[in-house]
Structure 1
Amino acid sequence: NKDEKQFINVRLQLLDQQYCLEMDRQLWQSYLDIGLQQHLWPDKFDTMSKANDFDLCKQYVMNYIENNKKQLNHCQFELTKQEQQFQT
């Protein structure tokens, strides 16, 4: 059935997005945990934050994680919405 195929296709895209966002969140959370414990950030953070400043790097990582969580919440919302629409 065409509707089922479309549902599955959209669902798989959303699940893939959810998985990638979750993996990214875990990676950045480990950056934050290590940074806070060892006061050491990956070199690329110094470059991205344009400063070799602990607090600035920390804020950069925390902002990234917060943005990731918003994207993940939106993705989960879309998955729920899609499922509800298909059931009706």
Structure 2
Amino acid sequence: MKTVNFLINVISVPADLLAIADTPEHELYATYQLYQYLVDSNLLHKVWMIDEYNELWLEINFVDEEGEPAFHTLKLDSGSYEEVEFESYSVLTE
């Protein structure tokens, strides 16, 4: 476990995902949609995990358009988020 003292504000969709925004059949389209959802939400998120490369991951849970629970994890690309100061909390590590 690690301790962090910030929340995440996702501010942009990475360029490689923006490039497929009009290609629903692309294998990464769902990842693009999730990133766009986070950008549009203006919500702050706790970090779920920090991996062996020191990359940040979020856990995102919501009810999808069909009314079904949807559970996702997302590795954040550098430059796509801001850290917002917050009280310390523990996160998973790999």
Identify the TM-score tier after normalising by the shorter chain: under 0.3
TM-score (norm 1): 0.26
TM-score (norm 2): 0.25
Give 1 or 2: higher strand fraction.
Answer: 2
Give 1 or 2: higher helix fraction.
Answer: 1
Between the two structures, name the one with larger relative contact order (CA 8 Å, sep ≥ 6).
2
The structure that has the greater radius of gyration is: 1
